[in-house]
Structure 1
Amino acid sequence: MTTTLDFNPMVSPHREDPHLFYREARQGPPRLSPTLGVYMVTRYEDLRTVIDDPQTYSSKAALPLIFANPPEVTDVLRAGGVAETPMVVNEDEPEHLPIRRVFDAGFTGARVRAMLPTMRARADELIDGFTDGSAELVGGYAVPFVQTVISAIIGFPPEDTARIQAWTDDVNTLWNVLSPLEARVAAAHGLVDYTRYLQAVIDDRRANPREDLVSDLVHGANGHPGLADEYVHNIVRGAARVAGFDTTRDAITATLLVMLENDGVRERVLADPARTIPKLTEEALRRDAPHRGLFRITTRDTHLGGADLPAGTPLLLLFGSGNRDETVFPGPDAVDLDRPNVRDHLAFGRGLHVCPGAPMARAEIRVALETLIRRLPELRLADGYEPTYIASYFFRGLERLDVRW
């Protein structure tokens, strides 16, 4: 068994279909990807072992730090006043818990229920704008739908959506070690502007708190005090805006694609949406987890799945592979709406760092699908449509989803 097995989700063939690679990778122990410079964890039980043992597998490297970029990038950040602070997803205990408790306040059941009218109104508004019996549901539906929801949760005004999205793309670029240097330098300038904008929002909420995430972070929640401004910046621009947008956008379109590619599934959804959409959502999350996974680093010498890993070994947890592990999910490539263990999937992670926005994301998926099938029961894939996927280090998402009715 070789000790290396390369993976690059930015290019063919892994960009189009990483599952062929995942299937091969699961046949052996964690192995090094020379392109990514990390050991890839692909089997479900190995992933569970890592997630459930934060003492051995630290989250300090869960996401790349923007200040790990080359000097040409970090010089721009420092000159622009961007603070160098860790993100909540990169924190271990005991530092993690008080930050996470404040963050969780933004995604309570009450907050989810309060957002439902906004979700339904935005979905209807977008469908009202469809013409000629056809639409493209990534840019024309999922993107603006999720942008509206996440902006309302965070506390961003709707009129700032376009520039906030551009800055969010800059954050993704700075995390991506495979991005060209010139793109990262340009993104650093964007992040300087984003930092100034966010600071103005933070200052306003300190003086004028509202029912939004920024206010929760600034003033505190769940019995914990408010966070330092630097942490608010990192949570808003990363864990909230990036994770809350990209993953939910891709989960909506992945769920729609499963429904539209499978006539039997589509008929079940149309016949009983209230019962079937939650099942479809979980099976789609399992089959195509919208987030590839996070990083860990070993704190001591350890043995994982047949591999000896010295202290300091970087790992990439590939949740999308674990979710199709045939030893846990029989017939993993099939669509099975009645899969008994479907909610054991790892699309939202688990343990200390399980996604706090999972209930909100599930609600967004449900409302997006319910509204579409109610308004457009004849929805079909466009003739000749073939799915293609974005070039992304972290996310698994459709470039387009062309439909007709």
Structure 2
Amino acid sequence: MTVEDTTVDTTVDTTVDTADPDHDFNPMISPHREDPHLFYRAARGRPVALSPSIGAYMITRHADLLTVINDPETYSSAIAVPRIYDNPPEVVAELEGHVPETGYLVNEDEPAHTPVRRVFDAGFTGARVRAMVPRMRHRAGELIDAFTGGTADLVSEYADPFVQTVINAVIGFPAEDAARIQAWTNDFVLLWNPLAPVEPKVQAARRLRDYTDYIQALIDARRAERRDDLISDLVHGANGFPAYDDAYAHDVIRGAARVAGYDTTRDAITSTLLVMLQDQAIRDRVVADPTRVIPRVTEEALRRDAPHRGLFRITTRETVLGDTTLPAGAPLLLLFGSGNRDETVFPDPDAVDLDRPNVREHLAFGTGVHVCPGAPLARAEIRVAIETLVQRLPGLRLTDDYRPSYIASYFFRGLETLDVTW
């Protein structure tokens, strides 16, 4: 299966000097790094505006987000995530001839999207998710057994290695290669970040040559012998659709699968734990009835702090969104975290309400044709990770001096640490 070229002109002109600097958004620096909701809250009350730092119009209201998502003919997904070959020339020079890039599933519009998505979906079937649960429980137990001294950082010592184990197994990466796969994944994410400095990107691009060779060896091995993993589905086809070509399989494995399946789930686990541990009453409810209460805490945590900041769209024609006229070729950033706290949809949006009747209207996993295919796997990982913790450590609580701090990330909203004791 090859990917059709998009008919959308993705050449973006961001040389706009009329935007109010007060409307700018930069998640890499203060104050938006610590609390993007300061910007989100203000932006929802004014017309759609362009952020000079991002070079795109910020879409913050729940209704506007749904308008964009549900009208792919006007708002194309062609630039949903950046291309690594859109980097500066010195970065591209390190990639050319060594690292393939054909396209990404999330950037596909119809009709190209559906057949590609169907093969990818095979990696995340209900049966495959259920088959992973025993491995999840075993890995969670191993990590808890390794805690020492009565304290732990649940980001680095628990959620991070737990999620790596699960997504690597689903894809088909050998468990013993987890450390170097994660290093390559970090390099790949760096190349997606348009706000990152050039020199670190050059070094990352150089290291991705080895990642390409590594993935190709796995593709060749699965072509010779199929296994029950995503790489095999890509190589041999699935769900009645034919196989990907090798170059596009690389894009799916390192991007849609490994990146999307790692950061977001890790951050969703820790944000859910934070909601639980910041409120004694919620923690007690979870300990008393984890089966019923953990899903409620999970959905409210996903709503309050969407682990993925958002995806891009580009207008295919001049259009009006809210009170703003957008020209053809205008880039938009869909800020799901803002829509999830839209006061017109979620009353008292900053509060934690485990009985919120419409909590499933949150956009943490997107919606529409590009809704996250890994959402069932992510929800299972969150449930197992928290269930295991409260069963093994029912007295779990935050350390007395803990204060939440967040990673400097263009795409993701995640805790740097989550320090606990018991």
Fold match (TM-score > 0.5):
yes
1:185 aligns with 2:202: yes
Q: Secondary structure at the match of 1:372?
A: helix
Structure 1 CA distance for aligned equivalents of residues 257 and 322 of structure 2: 33
Equivalent runs, 1:5-404 vs 2, <5 Å: 5-79=23-97, 81-404=98-421
CA shift at 1:84, angstroms?
2.8
Letter in 2 for 1:49: T
Q: 183-192 or 352-361, which moves further after superposition?
A: 183-192
Q: Secondary structure at the match of 1:244?
A: coil
TM-score normalised according to structure 2 size = 0.95
Q: Does the Cα contact within 8 Å between 1:4 and 1:32 map onto a contact in 2? A: no
Unpaired stretches in structure 2, ≥5 consecutive residues: 1-18
Letter in 1 for 2:183: A
Letter in 1 for 2:252: I
Q: Does the Cα contact within 8 Å between 1:6 and 1:35 map onto a contact in 2? A: yes
Q: Does the Cα contact within 8 Å between 2:21 and 2:52 map onto a contact in 1? A: no
Structure 1 CA distance for aligned equivalents of residues 27 and 398 of structure 2: 26
Structure 1 CA distance for aligned equivalents of residues 355 and 191 of structure 2: 40
Q: Secondary structure at the match of 2:262?
A: helix
Structure 1 CA distance for aligned equivalents of residues 252 and 120 of structure 2: 8
Structure 2 CA distance for aligned equivalents of residues 396 and 207 of structure 1: 40
Structure 1 CA distance for aligned equivalents of residues 209 and 322 of structure 2: 42
CA deviation vs aligned residue, 1:117-147 (integer Å, no higher than 9, x gap): 0000000000011111111100000000000
Structure 2 CA distance for aligned equivalents of residues 315 and 364 of structure 1: 31
Q: Secondary structure at the match of 1:46?
A: helix
Q: Does the Cα contact within 8 Å between 1:124 and 1:371 map onto a contact in 2? A: yes
CA shift at 1:323, angstroms?
0.2
Q: Does the Cα contact within 8 Å between 2:277 and 2:283 map onto a contact in 1? A: yes
Please report the RMSD computed on the Cα atoms of aligned residues, expressed in angstroms: 1.0
CA deviation vs aligned residue, 1:31-89 (integer Å, no higher than 9, x gap): 1000111000000000000001111000000000111001101111004x212311011
TM-score normalised according to structure 1 size = 0.99
CA shift at 1:191, angstroms?
1.4
Structure 2 CA distance for aligned equivalents of residues 318 and 380 of structure 1: 31
CA deviation vs aligned residue, 1:293-327 (integer Å, no higher than 9, x gap): 00000000000011100100000000000000000
Structure 1 CA distance for aligned equivalents of residues 54 and 307 of structure 2: 19
CA deviation vs aligned residue, 1:189-232 (integer Å, no higher than 9, x gap): 12111111100100000111100000011101111001011111
CA shift at 1:263, angstroms?
1.1
Unpaired stretches in structure 1, ≥5 consecutive residues: none
Q: Does the Cα contact within 8 Å between 2:101 and 2:248 map onto a contact in 1? A: no
Letter in 2 for 1:89: V
Structure 2 CA distance for aligned equivalents of residues 231 and 104 of structure 1: 15
Q: Does the Cα contact within 8 Å between 2:101 and 2:251 map onto a contact in 1? A: no
Between Structure 1 and Structure 2, how many residues are aligned?
Answer: 404
CA shift at 1:4, angstroms?
6.9
Q: Secondary structure at the match of 1:333?
A: coil
Percent identity between matched residues is: 71
CA shift at 1:30, angstroms?
1.4
Letter in 1 for 2:28: M
CA deviation vs aligned residue, 1:15-40 (integer Å, no higher than 9, x gap): 00001110001011211000111000
Q: Does the Cα contact within 8 Å between 1:30 and 1:304 map onto a contact in 2? A: yes
